[in-house]
Structure 1
Amino acid sequence: MATTEDKPATKEKTSSWKDSIYNPRTGELLGRTASSWGLILLFYLVFYAFLAGMFALTMWVMLLTLDDYVPKYRDRVPNPGLVIRPNSLDIAFNKSEPLQYSGYVKHLESFLERYNETEQEKNEECIQGEHFLQDDTEEMTKKACRFKRSFLSLCSGLSDTNFGYSEGKPCVLLKMNRIIGLKPRGKPYISCAIKKDDPVQMHYFPREGLIDQMYFPYYGKKAHESYVQPLVAVKLLLNKEDYNKELTVECKVEGSDLNNNDERDKFLGRVIFRIKVSDQLPAHPEAAALLFTVNSSVYPAPALPSRGYTVSTSSPS
């Protein structure tokens, strides 16, 4: 049992602990009076307001020196990189299974929406073979040359909404990065090669993979709002010997002064990607006879060899 002498000591400790938070005798909260807390809060309020004002002032001064249309400092016009669509450097699918290549098809269709006829009507019919030079007035909206998806012919997705993937002859789209003020000399075109002993035939759209000069120069995103990059479509005409193999494809920009052999940058004026097309039948043959829908058009699945039973398919309407 606690003695009577211990009780005052315990009460004194409890009172001391409470007083450290709030002392009713002096009116102090956490050891400070109300006026002391007010002065501290006022100091930090003024201090941080000053810092915020200094930050806003320096940002405002810096933004005054920037141009909304072009970068302020450009020591040189760099060479453009080359990129492909669908947005993958490893393309692999089974041509007999629509679900495996539907993602590539949807990506290409979405990417080409800006190249539709209705979108390109607002752009200009330009003179081929000449740079489309315009007034350098910064606040003037620049005109852009038309590039219709129909220029891509068999790889436009108009006549073949599967872009050749269902027949094992896929299309890939190539474009150069946009660079303000770039005016390449000569007649730039894109050429692709597969790293294997036997060459693979390819079709280029537009013809010969040409990138016309009329799509240069580019004036920047704000001034050139309706600008679309010229595309080159490459249709890989693979055959049975090429199926079930991983093929490495290298595409380069040729025929101009653009750099395409910088060992420090593998994507400068070129791009390397891998593609593997399989022709194996699905694990469940019945599934191959099902109709599949792409972009509201119905296509029948490929015919199956006889395995002791008959699978019927429908013809497209």
Structure 2
Amino acid sequence: MADNNELYKNIADRDTGFKKFIWNSDKKQFLGRTGSSWFKIGVFYLIFYACLAGFFAIMLAVFYQTLDTNHLPKYTPGGGGSLLRNPAMGFRPLPRSENVESTLIWYKNGDNDDIKHWVDTLNEFIKPYEGTSDAISGQHITDCSEDNFPKEREVCRFQDSWLKDKCQKAESWGYNRESPCILLKLNKMIRWVPEVYETLEELPQDMPESLKKHIEKRMTENQGRIPKMIWVSCEGENPADQEYIGPIRYSPWQGFPAYYFPYMHTPGYLSPIVAVQFDSPVSNVLINIECRAWAKNIKHDRQNRLGLVHFELLKD
């Protein structure tokens, strides 16, 4: 019984001590501090956090002064200070989401259910390019040429109707036939300007002979001037791939016209596209394909996928 009384007494003392900590009527203290003490510490933290917020606001204001009002990054290929000086190239259609790391385009020829993914992917990708013949409010779209580069805050027109042969939405991009199409584009790099080839002597030795002959032909058609173009070549990576790949056609050009560059984050800008049509690749054979972009300031790096793109094509 004595032990129980001692226990009850300890509990009562603890409750009394806690209540006294909450409010000590003898010393007029709340949570161990008097009113003046709470006032002093409240003023201190008010001043402390006000100074902290003011310092943060000043640093944020200084930071915003360094930003471009056109929402352009501080370091760009044309502005110096950037390590991004070489564009990469992308392709469409991409494999299914469950094979996101794959670069294999594998379809069954003539099977509408199997080709649906590839056709739908290209149809979705081409949507922004449809109906660009009409000017969009607030955007300045103009017709460009080698003699008519876009002015400031203007962008060059690119229409899906320029794509030819079976590389069209109406033709299911050739996947319902023997001629699948791949769409290529360069990744956007703000202020990057291509250094195009102006003479045949400037063409690199490792450029494919077929592309050199094409450039020479275009030069003859263009009154002795090489068109200002980022040229594109696609071929099998290995001798066997080159044998199986078959004829290749490009549209609307075998490259990206230089007047589409530089990209300046202008509203309405659409990257130029090169459609690559494989006329009759051998069936039931995995074909490794590499496409390269060619300009004097484009370097090719297979490991980092710079200036080129790799994919595989398998047609059952």
TM-score, with structure 2 as normaliser: 0.71
Question: Are residue 174 (structure 1) and residue 204 (structure 2) matched?
Answer: no
Using a 3 Å threshold, how does the CA distance of structure 1 residues 269 and 130 change in structure 2: closer, same or farther? farther
Match of 1:252? 292
1:103 alignment partner, one of 117, 136, 152:
117
Match of 1:121? 134
> Cα distance, 1:20 vs. partner?
3.4
> Cα distance, 1:185 vs. partner?
1.2
Question: Are residue 231 (structure 1) and residue 273 (structure 2) matched?
Answer: yes
Cα distance in structure 1, aligned partners of 2:49 and 2:259: 54
> Cα distance, 1:191 vs. partner?
0.9
2:159 alignment partner, one of 140, 143, 148:
148
Q: Tell me which moved more, 69-78 or 82-91.
A: 69-78
Check whether the contact 2:90–2:309 (CA below 8 A) recurs between aligned residues. Answer: yes
Check whether the contact 1:109–1:157 (CA below 8 A) recurs between aligned residues. Answer: no
Check whether the contact 1:22–1:29 (CA below 8 A) recurs between aligned residues. Answer: yes
Q: Deviations over 1:209-249 (max 9, x none)?
A: 2322322333x11xx2122111101122344x432x43221
Matched letter for residue 159 of structure 1: A
Check whether the contact 2:301–2:308 (CA below 8 A) recurs between aligned residues. Answer: no
Cα distance in structure 1, aligned partners of 2:28 and 2:105: 74
1:203 alignment partner, one of 249, 261, 264:
249
What is the aligned length?
261
Match of 1:289? none
Sequence identity (%): 29
- Between Structure 1 and Structure 2, the one with more helix by share is 2
> What secondary structure is seen at the aligned counterpart in 2 of 1:273?
strand
Check whether the contact 1:132–1:217 (CA below 8 A) recurs between aligned residues. Answer: no
Q: Deviations over 1:153-195 (max 9, x none)?
A: 23553421x2222335322111112231414312322111123
> Cα distance, 1:5 vs. partner?
5.6
Cα distance in structure 2, aligned partners of 1:49 and 1:58: 14
> Cα distance, 1:72 vs. partner?
3.9
> What secondary structure is seen at the aligned counterpart in 2 of 1:83?
strand
Using a 3 Å threshold, how does the CA distance of structure 1 residues 20 and 131 change in structure 2: closer, same or farther? farther
* Structure 1 gaps, min length 5: 136-141, 279-317
Check whether the contact 1:204–1:233 (CA below 8 A) recurs between aligned residues. Answer: yes
Match of 2:62? 61
> Cα distance, 1:131 vs. partner?
6.7
> What secondary structure is seen at the aligned counterpart in 2 of 1:268?
coil
2:312 alignment partner, one of 260, 274, 293:
274
Match of 1:45? 46
Cα distance in structure 2, aligned partners of 1:98 and 1:66: 50
Check whether the contact 1:83–1:271 (CA below 8 A) recurs between aligned residues. Answer: yes
Using a 3 Å threshold, how does the CA distance of structure 1 residues 63 and 10 change in structure 2: closer, same or farther? closer
> What secondary structure is seen at the aligned counterpart in 2 of 1:262?
coil
> Cα distance, 1:264 vs. partner?
5.6
Using a 3 Å threshold, how does the CA distance of structure 1 residues 3 and 133 change in structure 2: closer, same or farther? closer
Cα distance in structure 2, aligned partners of 1:275 and 1:41: 71
> Cα distance, 1:257 vs. partner?
0.9
Match of 2:201? none
Check whether the contact 2:167–2:174 (CA below 8 A) recurs between aligned residues. Answer: no
* Structure 2 gaps, min length 5: 96-102, 136-140, 198-228
> What secondary structure is seen at the aligned counterpart in 2 of 1:113?
helix
> Cα distance, 1:63 vs. partner?
1.6
Check whether the contact 1:154–1:163 (CA below 8 A) recurs between aligned residues. Answer: no
Cα distance in structure 2, aligned partners of 1:251 and 1:87: 15
Cα distance in structure 2, aligned partners of 1:276 and 1:71: 40
Cα distance in structure 2, aligned partners of 1:40 and 1:213: 66
Using a 3 Å threshold, how does the CA distance of structure 1 residues 145 and 29 change in structure 2: closer, same or farther? same
CA RMSD between the two structures = 2.8
Using a 3 Å threshold, how does the CA distance of structure 1 residues 158 and 57 change in structure 2: closer, same or farther? same
Match of 1:90? 104
Matched letter for residue 268 of structure 2: S
